Chains A and B, each alone.
Chain A
């Protein structure tokens, strides 16, 4: 997996470098015009934000119930990526909304629950950074709560019919809009996998450093 990282980062960098050209070639959406092109980065960020929450939750469950300390490293890595991709989603979304809806923000279920998930990730990382002994188990419980929020975020637009477009929009996109979208999604996914792997490696190396310091103290 370590050898795969440079390849994934290089490939995603090339693809993201070419993305503006792909997006520029995509047709304008009839009612929103140019501003709809924010969608090509907003959608992949939003999906990976939810994927990060799922990975963080599953890894935390394995850590809590399976007693595997390495899983905790994956949970921290996923939480940090969740915060990153959540920030991308929560910044690009309101920028698009200001032009499309006339407001920066509305307290509708999709936006509010996404903000809540972002706050859970922030709280999780603050807890892990400053919580002291026992924060790993407390954090894992918090991550499970974050994961439980994911299905709610996904279906909220279909249940409440708010200003935010429904989940049926993406599968019905015409090919010349769908192609650049899935192209950007592939580039973001490769970047996500590489960053997740690197961040988890960082956490595992930190654990080794701590173990060596403890061994030194005992000697």
Chain B
């Protein structure tokens, strides 16, 4: 039992050590508002890319969902027609 406890503690330390080390090395995270003008030029994304990504995502998601509903409905209605014909 004692061996198990020591083994588990050592395992936890082995797993936690790299995480603690990595978090100590990281720069402070950004959690507050930063004015757009203060963002370094390398981190700025062109507005056109953002608008394109947003509209592209909406179109793909909506078309994908319409296709998914049509396919599922087709499958269920075919199954229903088959069952109803068997029941007659």
A residues contacting B by CB (< 8 A) are 9, 16, 20, 33-35, 37-38, 41-42, 45, 84, 87-88, 91-92, 95-96, 98-103, 106-107, 163, 191, 195, 198-199, 201-202, 205-206, 208-209, 212-213, 215-216
29 pairs from A and B in contact (CB 8 Å cutoff): A20-B55, A34-B47, A34-B48, A35-B50, A41-B55, A84-B61, A88-B57, A88-B61, A88-B62, A91-B54, A92-B57, A95-B50, A95-B53, A98-B50, A99-B36, A101-B34, A102-B36, A102-B39, A103-B31, A103-B33, A106-B31, A106-B33, A107-B31, A199-B69, A201-B73, A202-B72, A208-B80, A216-B86, A216-B87
Q: Interface residues of B, CB < 8 Å — how many?
A: 35
Among B47, B54, B80, B83, contact of A42 (Cβ-Cβ < 8 Å): B54
Interface of A is mostly: helix
Q: Mark B41-53, 1 if CB is under 8 A from A, else 0.
A: 0000101101101
B residues contacting A by CB (< 8 A) are 30-36, 38-39, 45, 47-48, 50-51, 53-55, 57-58, 61-62, 65-66, 69-70, 72-73, 76-77, 79-80, 83-84, 86-87
Contacts of A106 in B (CB 8 A): 31-33
Verify B54–A92 contact, CB threshold 8 A: yes
Q: Which residue of B lies closest to A102 (CB)?
A: B34
Among A96, A103, A191, A212, contact of B54 (Cβ-Cβ < 8 Å): A96
Contacts of B73 in A (CB 8 A): 198, 201-202, 205
Contacts of B77 in A (CB 8 A): 205
Contacts of B53 in A (CB 8 A): 95
